[in-house]
Chain A
């Protein structure tokens, strides 16, 4: 334990150490006199390689490298929600208090405020046999989150003693447990868990519930499930971050973990500001009370960027074990892959595609497989949903990160440059995107939205596909030569595009739309289509005459005109369609 070696070589964030056979793979170490945090990433017979999570400028050879004997861990306990951390769980507010507006090196503030008093309600009793993750006590972490104090996953046995309900800090011992091998373990409010090891669970349950996001194109066309995985690839300026922000704001998960991985500093500031001011539509509480931010911006050390994804998912699994539905937005996984590439390059490993290491696919699958809807060890239902943004180089989806992410995620929301240029947001391409969850979620939609949901959805997709093939003709010869019924299809497709798929994130009504209203809108559009088909095909009324009534524009505007809590106003739209006469 705590054996010390000394630095042999330094190359960027990679430090080598000679003659230190006691170092283990993935062990956390302190590097140099400033005790920078590092992790062992390779062990050879004569040397070990360490990636350092902080800037190495100014480090010299022969400075000490102290082993800790434990892998990279995160601290888990009450007080995490509402906070903002860097990639290795250092709270940025404490860092600011220590070093001002610019981040200095070698700071190690506690992840959790150890002196804050928590009002604990004890649920277990003396003599009780406990298994991993048994809930011992609970406390109100924020107005939205009831934090459960659990037995760590690697401990079981009999409770020798447990404190009474009352006020505790994270330094206090809550209970003592006698394990089967006769040892006595002290349990407080916090526990530790290595970031690269998934936390155990009871069993995986099949996907059955959607993650409702309030975004029409997602909820209706390409739904994501609780416990599912989704990829959002898109070139710069297509709105990846905007989509992630919308999901973080409005999706119906209990807890949101937003990972800003190698992205812009101002964006994280914006999330912090926005979320503190925004109110959750369901609970009426500030959104920050269910949100946890991890910010490792692009100018922060690259190795910590690689760790930030794992830190985020470990925190998510911890809250999942309390029976919560947690959604992670990782923006962007490409930066994480690039961090892997950068470290791999410094190790002079043999590169595979585009310089990325050959283990990129296995690392990606390892990450996405940590999502899931599970029955936890303590008998609750919880889930971790992963939504990863991908920033393909040159907007080209054939590059390795996008392709490999596509293999391991089941929802694909492809962002489209042309839509973004026309300021059609969200710029999700309805032809190239897909969701494999629709079959799993069909029963939920049939039961909770409408028995006809699936056929209505299929109709919309069919109209959009017809439009796309008609547009090929229009681009060559113009729309005027098409027969009237095909022009009607184009017009309805326009209504779908502008009135339904386009959604204004800055409009108070349109930014979040409940699923019931979404479905009503869908029905109105399909009803209008049926009626107009009747006029155009059977009664041979020219489309232009119907257009003059302004009914199409009225339907397009219903997303703004009808408030989310006034579904009865749809009746007036249906009546207006019925009233059409020629």
Chain B
């Protein structure tokens, strides 16, 4: 009973134009059959009474104006979902690639999702311990947050993501009901392998869902990969009350795919050739993190992006930073000093941290200690700049202490082992010890009560 349309009117890049199509809906999925019997999937991206423009997901090679038949599926792209997806691996548009057969669907969900009502959101407050001091202590990850990692090519962002995923245990449920959804967009095969092996090693594989679109896969599919991943995450979080950590890598490849398609649609470009709707498009991914009142589950997002040329003002990190609730910035200079993870503390920020730390959540002194660490380390940068001009020997005694503080801060607090899992107490203790390097008068962000405990106890380091 279904009508098939023979042939095409036009063909360019990954786009096809079909004439005289009846009853098509905007955003609907098409099934395209080639002469050879091969089937491909497409999506309508522009529709008029006379013709429809569609994107073909698996690429247009082998398609001519006459050798295809197109059929409407009657629905936007939907994903079959059930709890079975845990432990499974899918391609970029949600088809199983692990030879375990199709998923028996308990429910089909539209991969575009729907915006969460701000009134229904639960404000995120619970702390997630990642075991990494630079994050836990200074840019704390909160359950339901979206906290991206801004990195660059050649920096260990993948290791960091794996370490966070393996060590993350949510304070109150300690690992129960915890799932990882991993969406890879345009990553290298090796990287995809690295994640699979690493999850296998840490035993996380059985509670993760992988969506892999490698860099040799069709570009158009990349647009759907994060949406499939987030749909799976929403299903696990809000239908099965799970705490889901979504890792998306690499957002830069995703944005480049978006640019490629936008230019083949001949849209007017804005900054650096990216489409004007890049912000809205990214927001439609990132905003799918959060918690809902009355639901036990949560979605926490860690998108990873490589900043082109390490430039934080590039449109991709820039727009991301405006949408996400903070960012963790990796720094090449620290990485070259062999400090892992090379988290550049000053530009890193967690916006939700203020409400999720302190006595009720982490450690009572946490807010003041982290505030003081930031402020003192910012001062270190000024003094280092000065030292590079006048030489370290010419610095005043206080400034020399700052230099010492800076080095130890980087080595002891930021730097840690790739498998080292520190508790928040340990992290705060390290910060506490570091601050004692500095003279008491320099610590203007600490309350008198903490200051006296810090300097008047018997373990006090003496200041020469």
Contacts and interface: CB of A to CB of B under 8 A. Distances in A.
* A and B interact physically: yes
Interface of A: 7-12, 16, 18, 55-62, 84, 92-93, 95-96, 99-104, 235-237, 260, 262, 264-266, 268-270, 272-273, 295, 297-300, 302, 335, 338-339, 341-342, 344-345, 348, 351, 354-356, 391, 393-396, 421-423, 474-480, 498, 506, 553, 556
Contacts of B321: 235-237
B47 A10 contact: yes
B47 A345 contact: no
B271 interface: yes
Interface of B: 23-28, 46-49, 76, 112-124, 144-145, 238, 267-271, 275-277, 279-280, 283-284, 286-288, 290, 292-293, 295, 312-315, 318-319, 321-323, 325-327, 346-347, 349, 351-352, 354-355, 367, 371, 374-375, 378-379, 382, 385-386, 389-390, 394-396, 441, 444-445
16 contacts: A10-B26, A60-B24, A60-B26, A60-B47, A103-B114, A237-B349, A266-B145, A266-B352, A269-B122, A300-B115, A338-B279, A342-B277, A342-B280, A421-B378, A422-B346, A423-B378
B254 to A, nearest CB: 16
Contact of B269 (A235, A299, A355): A355
B290 A506 contact: no
B21 to A, nearest CB: 9
Contacts of A62: 49
Nearest to A335: B279
B315 A298 contact: no
A475 B118 contact: no
A265 B287 contact: yes
Contact of A476 (B275, B355, B389): B389
Given A354-B270, A394-B312, A396-B313, 7 more contacts: A56-B26, A100-B120, A298-B284, A335-B279, A338-B280, A355-B269, A553-B444
A298 B323 contact: yes
Contact of A61 (B49, B115, B351): B49
Cβ-closest 5 pairs across A and B: A394-B313, A298-B283, A355-B270, A9-B48, A236-B321
A9 B25 contact: no
A59 B367 CA distance: 50
A475 B386 contact: yes
Nearest to B311: A394
Nearest to A8: B49
A475 B387 CA distance: 9
Contacts of B284: 298-299
Nearest to A419: B378
Nearest to B28: A58
A477 B389 contact: yes
A371 B47 CA distance: 41
Contacts of B386: 474-475, 478
A61 B47 contact: yes
B24 to A, nearest CB: 6
B180 to A, nearest CB: 22
Nearest to A343: B276
A262 B279 contact: yes
A102 B115 CA distance: 6
Contacts of B117: 92, 95-96, 99-103
A239 to B, nearest CB: 10
Residue of A260, A270, A295 contacting most chain B CB atoms (<10 Å): A270
Given A103-B117, A269-B123, A342 B46 contact: no
A104 B114 contact: yes
Nearest to B284: A299
A355 B276 CA distance: 7
